[in-house]
Amino acid sequence: MSKKYSVAILGATGAVGTEILALLEERNFPLDNLKVLASERSTGKSVMFAGKELTIEAVNATSFDGVDIVLASAGGSISKQWLPIAAKAGAVSIDNSSAFRMHPDVPLVVPEVNPEAAKHHQGIIANPNCTTILMAVAIYPLHQVQPIQRIVVSTYQSASGAGARAMEEVQLQAQAILKGEPAIAEVLPYPLAFNLFTHNSPMTANSYCEEEMKMVNETHKIFGDRQIRITATCVRVPVLRAHSEAINLEFAHPFSPDKAREILKSSAGVHLVEDFDKNYFPMPIDASGKDDVLVGRIRQDISHENGLELWICGDQIRKGAALNAVQIAELLIAESIL
């Protein structure tokens, strides 16, 4: 009989926590016991899992006793407070926040790219930023064939990246605007319906926002190559779910679009979507609810003989967050590295 595991979801009521619950059921994760944890204000509420009602518990110092895996998506401050306690209790935590991503002793893992990094965990594994995950899955197969020298990426990020409340806010704003009423922004800094703005994360000293620097620093760590030159521009767009990215890659030598297509067709986690005659390429509406990163519009950069252009879309809540975390948990089990 296959071994089963005790799992705790920390942040079970949020958009990502809800998706994790759905994925554990959908993928028949080998569960022995499932705890759903959240803050005290959610205590007593319930969530559905596999046809059963699970009562949410307030996280406390004994919540992780007997737990094998913690899937955390409750924010950086919560992760910093509780995941070291979970590690002392013998659990391995997979953290969706930015709290530990750049910590030198914490692996930052995308299973399709650097699964071997998970072996070096010390009780905590970090889930990368959503935009980084989607880009890494799409471009790493090309990097393996010919190392990438430079990445220029522009992101078009949906409301889902700011959580369930932001998604609801955009819908309410759209309804208000269509009625001729003012759009109220409370979750996001500005109205997003029928609008867009540069990413709402704080600016850093170099005039890049934190989201842009996450893409730079995390890609270096995941690829294990800090020589790649990377620049990013991140934008919030009025899409409910699924992020898009325009990616320009520079290599030492030409990389033909046809060769790139052949590589990506057989790459894990990637689905090629291209119809040049119909001008049909990946769209957020098609990527929503899908596991794979949709890749298309692969073309020669006409401004640089060694340049290659790609357009990608991926579900931010799914592969950009919840699915990647669950895949890491499955990797820990498959490789016996809990």
User: 3-state class of 246 per DSSP?
Assistant: strand
Cβ–Cβ under 8 Å, residues 293 and 270: yes
Strands, E assignment, 39-178: 46-49, 52-55, 57-58, 69-72, 92-95, 124-126, 148-157
* Residue 1: predicted pLDDT: 52
Cβ–Cβ under 8 Å, residues 192 and 159: yes
Contacts of 253 (CB under 8 A, 6+ apart): 146, 306
Residue that is written with structure tokens 């209790």 in the block: 89
CATH superfamily assigned to domain 5-128+321-334 = NAD(P)-binding Rossmann-like Domain (3.40.50.720)
The catalytic position among 121, 143, 243, 271 is 243
* Domains of the chain, residue spans: 5-128+321-334, 132-316
The Cα-based distances of 99 to 110, 173, 287, 334 in angstroms read 17, 31, 28, 26
| Pairwise CA distance, residues 253 & 283, whole Å | 30
CB atoms within 10 A of CB 11: 25
Active site residue 243: yes
Start-to-end CA span in the chain (Å): 18
| Pairwise CA distance, residues 337 & 107, whole Å | 13
Q: Give the closest residue to 112 by CA, choosing from 139, 73, 80.
A: 139
* Residue 45: predicted pLDDT: 87
**Residue 83 belongs to what H/E stretch?**
helix 76-88
Residue that is written with structure tokens 């073309």 in the block: 299
Written out in words, the top-level CATH class of the domain with range 132-316 is alpha beta
The catalytic position among 121, 130, 143, 209 is 130
Q: Low-confidence residues of the chain, pLDDT below 70? A: 1
Phi and psi dihedrals of 211, rounded to 5?
-60, -40
Cβ–Cβ under 8 Å, residues 215 and 232: yes
**Partners of 148 in beta bridges:** 251
* Residue 163: predicted pLDDT: 87
**Partners of 126 in beta bridges:** 95, 108
| Pairwise CA distance, residues 324 & 102, whole Å | 17
CB atoms within 10 A of CB 246: 15
| Pairwise CA distance, residues 326 & 292, whole Å | 14
Phi and psi dihedrals of 140, rounded to 5?
-60, -40
Active site residue 130: yes
Residue that is written with structure tokens 């319930």 in the block: 46
